Amino acid sequence: MKNPESRKYTIGGIILIIFLIVWIKLLNLQLLDESLKTSSDNNSQRRVTVYPGRGLIYDRNGVLLVCNEAAYDLMLVPKNMKSFDTLSLCNDLGIDKDDFYMRLDKCKTYSNYRPSVFFKQITSAQYAKLQEHMYRLSGFFVQSRTLRRYTEGIAAQVLGDVGEVDLETLKGDSYYSGGDYAGKSGIEKYYEKELRGEKGVKVFLVDVHSNIQGSYMNGKYDTLAVPGKDLTLTIDAGLQRYGELLMKNKIGSIVAIDPGTGEILAMVSSPAYDPQLLVGRQRGMYYDSLVNSPGKPLINRAVSSTYPPGSIFKMANALTALQDGLIKPGSFFPCDKSKVGCHGHPPANGVARAIQYSCNPYFYFVFKEIVQRGIERSHFKDSRIGLDLWKKKIITLGFDQALDVGLPAVNKGQVPGPDYYDRLYGKHRWAFSTVYSLGIGQGELLVSPLQMAHFCAIIANRGFYYNPHLVKSISGEPISGANTQKVFTPFDKKYFEVVAEGMDYVVNDEFGTGYLARINDIRVCGKTGTAQNSGKDHSVFVAFAPKDNPQIAISVYVENAGFGGLWAAPISRLMIEKYIKGYVTDTILEKRIVESVLFNADGEE
């Protein structure tokens, strides 16, 4: 028989071990087990996110372009859900039972204890009906938020849209939670942090039936939502609407800039669409429809599309040759059609007249002077040096760079330099004869309509510019920094005067190719372009007005429309007159442009 003293210690040890196990288990349940704490908190408390009002967006004259309207999400805490009439809820929401159980499974997968969206963006009518039955729906509650309202139905590609955040956004920004919304394109995306504001939270006490009993600890843990900042754009809503009207049933874009400030007055991309289509539960359906539309209306052609600029680029080459002392304002070159094709016109006695007549052979010879400068005896080496010097000058005019206007997806275009042709043909295996088409704005050269308008604004200012931009002020505070700084190009003012004189001839003199842009009491300076294309050529025109006190610089690009003077020039004329006067005098021209169909919804041109 064992020693009684030993048995006493054994029993005591067993009791101690049992006590320790129970104590550790209790410690784990009370302090370490988060699921129990979460379950307890969720049974007595409800944390409701307070979504801030997204910032409003106005045009330059205070016209409200984007506001907010009330919307509601039906939230669910699955653990708190009790038995109820599912058919009644399905009827209220307009869903079937399969949809109900799919949504329920999604909420449970997210969390059994935390609230998540069961049904988003409930209409006001659905919300009113649902409120009558909410007392029967344990675990469910309604959370308010706002949806965007695009009041004017214009500038869709500029304003952009708001949609539910994706997984990448959730991982990259802790501000967002599943079911939140953020800007997906345009101004809404670029200025997301300014527009979104800061979320708040309200903590409520709830009973066992998930009914709110009042504020938890008198609101001690509540935080206020901070509304988003309002934006005032540089866009003129009236001019924007008019531009969209003129471009109806056409593919292309219009960009209008105030040269004295760099403010973008209008940015039209056609085909356009109603931005309200991408709001609410139908967003996905309309988005797919727009993506598959033959006109690709979701693309902002003004900043994302690039094209050969055509003859408008002759002015950039003229400036380069003049500045580098390779030609003089009165230099003469023959209209030798054996070099490059041209139309009939009088002799181009100087740069200004060559711009007026848009003489291709003249600018063939100008570009030859630029590329073959006689620095090296080898044509290949000499061309490489000349083209490099040319590119360095050209990019100071806003080309080959993504201009930061306040939008995502801005295309930098392409100004090919020596390295480009080295990769294409091999080093010292190309010369002027390979790249001469750059002299008339063709070949591998690509620019955006935004860059064209910016270049025209530089000419209007005779050599300086302000960075083109779309936002005028944020919460009433005028923008500052780079957008307000005057930048000078490395070209002398006197050479811009030569180019401006040529642009004046284009519109206002006999044999000018842009006479359809002429306005009797406004001196318009412009330049036509007909950019070669695999199909029908593109119609291009840039202009500024008035000549001596410029208020507007504009580029118009109409795809597959042919000669620049026939379509792009008259559209420019109407836009300029509309902006400066507030009305147009040639209503017959206006009617022709508005009613012309160069593209239809079936994708036929």
Residues 547 and 565 in one domain: yes
Task: Flag whether 26 is in a domain.
Answer: no
Predicted pLDDT of residue 603:
45
Residues 199 and 251 in one domain: no
**Cα gap 213→115, rounded to integer Å:** 18
Task: Flag whether 529 is in a domain.
Answer: yes
Task: Flag whether 13 is in a domain.
Answer: no
**Cα gap 67→61, rounded to integer Å:** 16
CA dihedral 406, 410, 414, 415 (to 10 degrees): 0
Find the CATH number of the domain harbouring 484: 3.40.710.10
- Here the tokens at position 282 are 């139908």
Task: Flag whether 314 is in a domain.
Answer: yes
Sign of the alpha-carbon torsion through 514, 519, 525, 526? negative
Confidence band for 13, pLDDT divided at 50, 70 and 90: confident
Residue 193 host element (H or E): helix 192-196
Cα 530 to Cα 21, 51, 191, 597: the distances in Å are 87, 51, 36, 19
Predicted pLDDT of residue 37:
47
Average pLDDT over residues 234-242: 98
- Here the tokens at position 410 are 């801005």
Predicted pLDDT of residue 34:
47
**Cα gap 393→491, rounded to integer Å:** 9
Q: Are 351 and 359 in contact (CB under 8 A)?
A: no
Q: Are 290 and 334 in contact (CB under 8 A)?
A: no
Residues 218 and 275 in one domain: no
Q: Is the pLDDT of residue 42 over 80?
A: no
Report pLDDT digits (tens) over 305-335. Answer: 999 999 999 999 999 999 999 999 999 999 9
**Among 195, 216, 231, which residue terminates a domain?**
231
Residues 75 and 220 in one domain: yes
Which pTM value belongs to this model?
Answer: 0.88
- 179-191 in b/e form (b: 16+ CB < 10 A) is bbbbbbbbbbbbb
Q: Tell me which residue has tokens 């160069």.
A: 598
Report pLDDT digits (tens) over 123-155. Answer: 777 888 888 888 888 889 888 888 999 999 999
| Strand, helix or coil for residue 338 | coil
Query: Which residues have C-beta within 8 Å of that of residue 141, sequence separation ≥ 6?
Result: 46, 48, 74, 75, 115, 134, 210, 212
| Strand, helix or coil for residue 99 | helix
HSE-CB at 14 with a 13 A cutoff on CA atoms is: 5
Residues 227 and 242 in one domain: no
Q: What is the secondary structure of 167-186 as a DSSP string?
A: HHHHHH-TT--TT-EEE-SH
Residues 223 and 246 in one domain: no
**Cα gap 528→538, rounded to integer Å:** 11
State the DSSP code for 395. Answer: G
Residues 480 and 442 in one domain: yes
Residue 424 host element (H or E): helix 418-425
Task: Flag whether 269 is in a domain.
Answer: yes
Average pLDDT over residues 287-301: 95
**Cα gap 181→164, rounded to integer Å:** 4
Predicted pLDDT of residue 604:
47
Predicted pLDDT of residue 136:
86
More confident residue, 362 or 48: 362
**Cα gap 564→516, rounded to integer Å:** 10
Predicted pLDDT of residue 9:
66
Q: Are 555 and 531 in contact (CB under 8 A)?
A: no
Q: Is the pLDDT of residue 26 over 90?
A: no
In this prediction, what percent of the chain has a pLDDT beyond 70?
92
| Domain region containing 323 | 237-281+300-595
Which range among 44-53, 242-251, 252-261, 339-348 shows the weakest confidence by mean pLDDT? 44-53
Q: Is the pLDDT of residue 215 over 90?
A: no
Predicted pLDDT of residue 47:
79
Find the CATH number of the domain harbouring 139: 3.90.1310.10
Average pLDDT over residues 478-498: 95
Q: Is the pLDDT of residue 30 over 70?
A: no
Report pLDDT digits (tens) over 536-584. Answer: 888 999 999 999 999 999 999 999 888 778 999 999 999 999 999 999 9
Residues 222 and 248 in one domain: no
Average pLDDT over residues 237-252: 97
Predicted pLDDT of residue 208:
62
Report pLDDT digits (tens) over 361-371. Answer: 999 999 999 99
Residues 157 and 273 in one domain: no
Task: Flag whether 56 is in a domain.
Answer: yes
Report pLDDT digits (tens) over 272-284. Answer: 999 999 998 888 8
Predicted pLDDT of residue 39:
46
Residues 529 and 395 in one domain: yes
Residues 175 and 241 in one domain: no
Confidence band for 498, pLDDT divided at 50, 70 and 90: very high
Predicted pLDDT of residue 5:
63
> How many domains does the structure of the chain reveal?
2
Query: Which residues have C-beta within 8 Å of that of residue 447, sequence separation ≥ 6?
Result: 306, 307, 308, 309, 313, 399, 413
CA dihedral 57, 60, 65, 66 (to 10 degrees): 0
Average pLDDT over residues 91-120: 90
Q: Are 73 and 164 in contact (CB under 8 A)?
A: no
How many residues belong to the chain?
605
Residues 553 and 584 in one domain: yes
Predicted pLDDT of residue 43:
55
Strands (E), 218-362: 231-233, 252-257, 264-270
Average pLDDT over residues 200-221: 75
More confident residue, 589 or 33: 589
Q: Is the pLDDT of residue 50 over 70?
A: yes
CA angle 244, 249, 250 (to 5 degrees): 80
Task: Flag whether 418 is in a domain.
Answer: yes
Q: How far is CA 369 from the centre of its chain?
A: 39
**Cα gap 216→201, rounded to integer Å:** 12
Task: Flag whether 527 is in a domain.
Answer: yes
Confidence band for 463, pLDDT divided at 50, 70 and 90: very high
Which range among 36-40, 132-136, 339-343, 595-599 shows the weakest confidence by mean pLDDT? 36-40
Q: Are 529 and 441 in contact (CB under 8 A)?
A: yes
**Cα gap 107→79, rounded to integer Å:** 10
Report pLDDT digits (tens) over 376-399. Answer: 999 999 999 999 999 999 999 999
Predicted pLDDT of residue 212:
65
Cα 342 to Cα 96, 335, 397, 512: the distances in Å are 69, 8, 27, 14
- Which phi and psi angles does 268 have, rounded to 5°? -105, 135
Average pLDDT along the chain = 90
